[in-house]
Amino acid sequence: MYPRSFEYVSPGSLDEATSVLASTEGAKVLAGGMSLLPLMKLRLFSPDVLVDIGRIPGLSSIEDRGDHLAIGAMVSHAATASDSSIAEHAAALATAASWTGDVQVRNQGTTCGSIAHADIAADQPSAALALGATMVAASAGGVREIAASDFFVDTLTTALGPGEILTEVRIPKQGGASAYEKLGRRGGHTDYAVAGAAVWLDVSDGAVSSARVALTGVGAKPTLAEGVAEALIGTDGSDAAIAEASERALEGVTVLDDLFGTVEYKAHLAKVMTRRALQQAVAAAT
Amino acid sequence: MHVSLTVNGQRAVTDVEPRTLLVHLLREELGLTGTHVGCDTSYCGACTVILDGKTVKSCTMLAVQAQGAEVTTIEGLAANGDLHPVQEGFWERHGLQCGFCTPGMIMSAVGLLSENGSPSEGEIRHGLEGNLCRCTGYHNIVRAVEYAAAKMRGEEPPAPEWEEGSA
């Protein structure tokens, strides 16, 4: 299956890439292509111009910048999954990356690409939300930072403008602990999430002092489950407290059914995954 | 567009449309039809090749993205008439039935063994997650990879199950 014809541009610098995007109608950024190319082959999407950012130097590293980690636009899922600083400071993202796609997809696809594509059942967007990440977007007009909580707008829709490239995801080094749990469409952790939950929390003096919980797979976009965090903060993080807080996972979420589950089933799963992820994070934080 | 890459140790230079997929460059421009097109939706892994040391799905990559890369296909594994240990494993342990998925399955197994020379059964199954086989039920594929892993470590492969206890 061939995609429709398009023009291919392979810029040598970020400035060149953003100026092509600014001056070209119907241009789309190509990174790993693991989401974009299947859509193009099915002809569900046919951009006129592809701007391949794969040859721009400096986009393939994970940097520790003291108070945050920066994941470049061309960092593969496999690299995110196996990086020691991400494992230490952002375990939820490391786990989510290790459960994204399959081996070949993880070798070729990128963490930033998964986040910019914003599939409703992708793993890493929810981890970015729970970890309070900041997205860095470059365009011909300059660079801006977007909080994860403002980034995911709707199904396959983010705050990125047509002329912007997600050049970097920044994860704060904030202490505490994080975890990700999911049920995959092919069972276990394989394939997209039927439902998944990413959590970050901190514990001080025997009580949960702060928490963020994000769901994937159940609604139209990755969503913060603020009710769970609210219910958990101030408790001792016991199994009973976690179970009670997890019951609030779907407050404010419209659960969508799909081929992989009914509304009722997915709502149940979301609570189970929230509970399991919280238990792991509490165990890791204490 | 002009694309030059190295395939199985040989330099290949060709002109392709930007929409040409790597698998079509391999099969149609270079005549290397060992790499198969299966599902064409990035699920089945029949098109798996090794690109700069990593397994990728060549049906989900533009040929122009492979500019300058080193690609190994199933045709590049055997040397001097000797099968690669993974190919030998699939032969010796009956790791195939119809054979359609086999080239991709073998390339993924080669990729797995390059990173982990002593994979457990679970690690083999996890490592081959991106390759679908509709015939075998995977059982003998796992045995084939175990055979290859032992051979590549210089050890005697475990006896085939059909011989165990058959005396």
Nearest CA in chain B to A189: B126
pLDDT score, position B165: 64
pLDDT score, position A198: 98
Report whether pLDDT(B164) > 90.
no
- Are B1 and A8 inside 8 Å of each other by CB? yes
Confidence of residue B158 (pLDDT cuts 50, 70, 90): very high
Tell whether B106 is within 8 A of chain A (Cβ).
no
pLDDT score, position B163: 85
Tell whether B160 is within 8 A of chain A (Cβ).
no
Give the number of A-B residue pairs with CB atoms closer than 8 Å.
78
Report whether pLDDT(B167) > 80.
no
pLDDT score, position B40: 84
Residue B7 lies in a domain: yes
Of A6, A34, A42, the CB nearest to B19: A6
pLDDT digits (tens, 9 = 90+) for B8-24: 999 999 999 999 999 99
Please answer whether residues A93 and A80 qualify as being in contact, where contact means their C-beta atoms are separated by less than 8 angstroms.
yes
For B55-98, the DSSP string reads EEEGGGSBGGGGTT-EEE-GGGT-BTTBPPHHHHHHHHTT--SS
- Are A107 and B127 inside 8 Å of each other by CB? no
pLDDT score, position B75: 98
Task: Name the percent of chain A lying above pLDDT 90.
Answer: 97
Q: How far is A41 from chain B (nearest CA, A)?
A: 8
Q: How many H-runs (helices) and E-runs (strands) does chain B carry?
A: 5, 5
Tell whether B58 is within 8 A of chain A (Cβ).
no
Tell whether A98 is within 8 A of chain B (Cβ).
no
Please answer whether residues A37 and A17 qualify as being in contact, where contact means their C-beta atoms are separated by less than 8 angstroms.
no
- Are B60 and A38 inside 8 Å of each other by CB? yes
pLDDT score, position B166: 55
pLDDT digits (tens, 9 = 90+) for B77-94: 999 999 999 999 999 999
Of B18, B67, B127, the CB nearest to A103: B127
Query: Domain residues of chain A, as ranges?
Result: 7-55, 62-172, 177-285
Nearest CA in chain A to B54: A107
Substitution target from A10, A37, A98, A104 for chain B, most B beta carbons within 10 A? A104
Task: Name the percent of chain B lying above pLDDT 90.
Answer: 94
Nearest CA in chain B to A36: B60
Tell whether A111 is within 8 A of chain B (Cβ).
no
Q: A177-285 maps to which CATH number?
A: 3.30.390.50
Q: Determine the Cα–Cα distance for residues A96 and A66; give it in Å rounded to an integer.
A: 23
As for how many domains chain B has, the answer is 2
CATH number of the domain enclosing B147: 1.10.150.120
CATH fold for domain A62-172? 3.30.465
Nearest CA in chain A to B37: A1
- Ranges of residues in chain A with a pLDDT under 50 are none
For residue B109, what are the domain limits?
Answer: 85-152
| CATH label, A7-55, candidates 3.30.43.10, 3.90.230.10, 3.40.50.720, 3.60.150.10 | 3.30.43.10
- Are B42 and A8 inside 8 Å of each other by CB? no
What is the interface pTM, i.e. ipTM, of the complex? Answer: 0.96
CATH number of the domain enclosing B15: 3.10.20.30
- Mean model confidence pLDDT for chain B: 96
**Angle, vertex CA A227, rays to CA A137 and CA A95, nearest 5:** 55
pLDDT score, position A187: 87
Which of B76, B101, B132 is where one domain is finished? B76
- Shared domain for B18 and B72, answered yes or no, is yes
Please answer whether residues B78 and B37 qualify as being in contact, where contact means their C-beta atoms are separated by less than 8 angstroms.
no
Q: Determine the Cα–Cα distance for residues B120 and B158; give it in Å rounded to an integer.
A: 14
pLDDT digits (tens, 9 = 90+) for B96-113: 999 999 999 999 999 999
